[in-house]
Amino acid sequence: MRMLVVGGTGMLGAPVARGLAADGHSVRVLSRHPATAHVGAGIQVVRGDVDDPESIRRAVEGAEGIHVSLDGK
């Protein structure tokens, strides 16, 4: 399954992203700073921000499932 993990570079989201990838899913993580995102091998990191609707639209494209792990700030 093609999964998008929003908040996938954080303390809770990163293990979710790695677990999904380990289970054989295709994983994409949305990050404001992709150059410094260390989420693991085989995980695609795309630039975006939850406050930018267009970046969310681009990140969601092609995803079959979405996991959101944000701190609510």
Within a domain: 11? yes
Specify the pTM. Answer: 0.90
Q: How many residues does the chain have?
A: 73
Please calculate the CA angle 13-53-62 and round it to the nearest 5 degrees: 65
Within a domain: 30? yes
- Mind listing the pLDDT tens digit for each residue in 12-71? 999 999 999 999 999 999 999 988 888 888 999 999 999 999 999 999 999 999 999 988
Domain containing 43 equals 2-68
Cβ contact 27:46 at 8 Å: no
Domain count, the chain: 1
CATH of the domain at 17: 3.40.50.720
Within a domain: 73? no
